[in-house]
Amino acid sequence: MSIPEELQKILRSARDVVALTGAGISAESGIPTFRGNDGLWSKLNPEELANFDAFLRNPELVSEWYEHRRQITRESKPNPAHYALVEMEKSFRSFTVITQNIDNLHKRAGSKTVAELHGNIERNYCLGCGKRYDGEEFDRNGSFRCSECGGLIRPDIVWFGEMLPEDEWALAEEAAQRADVMFVVGTSSVVYPAAELPMTVRRNGGKIVEVNIEETPLSDSADFSFKGSASMVLSEITDEIKELRGFAKDTE
Ligand code: BV8
Ligand code: ZN
């Protein structure tokens, strides 16, 4: 696979770059996507699980599902696609990863600037008193109730119908507004407002490069589209970018 001449020119002069990622970038880490035929939701109906009312109706079921997913993410590791984005960071003046994923893999791979639009499965808090239950020390001793006040503990993630965290959204919007290039990697581009961000890039004169194993609603409007797995495509693009731009970080 090689980068088309027109995209090479853009990447040679680009200064501010963003990557918008979805579940597809973590598929090769063994984390099921949502809408693929092996997707998480092919077996389970999202209405029953990924929303606040479902949680209040059946906190144990929803909490067990997230505990199950937390275990999957802890057993998984970042894959070459995550590491390619860490490498790519070194070639540009600024590089922001905007992720819809809650699996913590971009941070574990070492990406420096990550906007987690939908939260992070390693973070939890008590609905009653706000006490945090984050990371490995979230020892539930079998219950999902707060040790301080007995309130329900929920994952610190964004369910359907919930607002995105303001600071994360602001970071993402600001990065999209000044991006020369946005790589859109492994997302079906159907969930809003995240799916709006490529339009923000285009409106401000930036270019869209889609990396996916299949067509998506974004494909027609992307400036460049690479059909293939995120780890293979991003590793090759990162290597070519290093050649195009030399190894020195663009600091001017
Ligand atoms: C909000 C966290 C409003 C929980 C998630 C009608 C029209 C437009 C919008 C709406 C509408 N009705 C409702 C809405 C709003 C709704 C929405 O967008 N719904 C959609 C489904 C229509 N959005 C919301 O509710 C958002 N909040 O709008 O608030 C508001 C306004 C004012 C006041 C109050 C409220 C909140 C959205 C966040 C929901 N939370 N997740 C959890 O994880 O359990 S969404 C969930 O989907 C995940 O976060 C996931 O990241 C996200 C998107 O999915 P993808 O990441 O794209 O994954 P998917 O499986 O779909 O696709 C994988 C892709 O990878 C595929 O394309 C595949 O081909 C590709 N792939 C696979 N393998 C590879 C690969 N690519 C490369 N390499 C590979 N190896
Ligand atoms: Zn509490």
One-character DSSP codes across 20-75? EE-GGGTGGGT---SSSTT-HHHHS-HHHHSSHHHHHH-HHHHHHHHHHHHHHHHH
Same domain, 58 and 143: yes
Same domain, 37 and 84: no
- Residue 4 falls within a domain, yes or no? yes
Same domain, 234 and 152: no
Per-residue confidence (pLDDT) for residue 34, from 0 to 100: 77
Model pLDDT for residues 45-77, shown as the tens digit of each residue: 665 688 899 999 989 888 888 988 898 999 999
Per-residue confidence (pLDDT) for residue 50, from 0 to 100: 85
Q: Which two three-digit tokens encode residue 49?
A: 């699980």
Per-residue confidence (pLDDT) for residue 10, from 0 to 100: 96
Give me the CATH number covering residue 234. 3.40.50.1220
- Residue 252 falls within a domain, yes or no? no
- 57 by Cβ neighbours in 10 Å (0-12 / 13-18 / 19+) ranks as exposed
106 is catalytic: no
Q: Whose CA is nearest to atom 75 of ligand 1?
A: 24
Distance from the alpha carbon of residue 187 to the mean position of ligand 1, in angstroms: 8
Ligand that lies nearest to the alpha carbon of residue 147, given by its number in the listed order:
2
Domain containing residue 58: 32-75+120-157
pTM of the model: 0.94
Q: Is the pLDDT of residue 251 over 60?
A: no
Mutate to test the pocket of ligand 1, among 63, 69, 114, 192 (most ligand atoms within 8 A of CB): 192
- The ligand 1 site (C-beta within 6 Å) comprises 22-24, 27-28, 33-36, 39, 50, 100-102, 118, 157-163, 186-188, 190-193, 212-214, 216, 229-230
For tokens 């990697």, what's the residue? Answer: 185
List the catalytic residue out of 68, 82, 106, 118.
118
Same domain, 146 and 225: no
> Quick one: which of 208, 209, 186 has its CA closest to 199?
208
Same domain, 38 and 24: no
Same domain, 230 and 133: no
Per-residue confidence (pLDDT) for residue 252, from 0 to 100: 45
Atom of ligand 1 nearest to the CA of 81: 78
Model pLDDT for residues 118-172, shown as the tens digit of each residue: 999 999 999 999 999 987 666 666 678 998 999 999 999 999 999 999 999 999 9
Model pLDDT for residues 194-234, shown as the tens digit of each residue: 999 999 999 999 999 999 999 999 999 999 999 999 999 99
Total domains present in the chain: 2
Model pLDDT for residues 5-25, shown as the tens digit of each residue: 999 999 999 999 999 999 999
- Residue 250 falls within a domain, yes or no? no
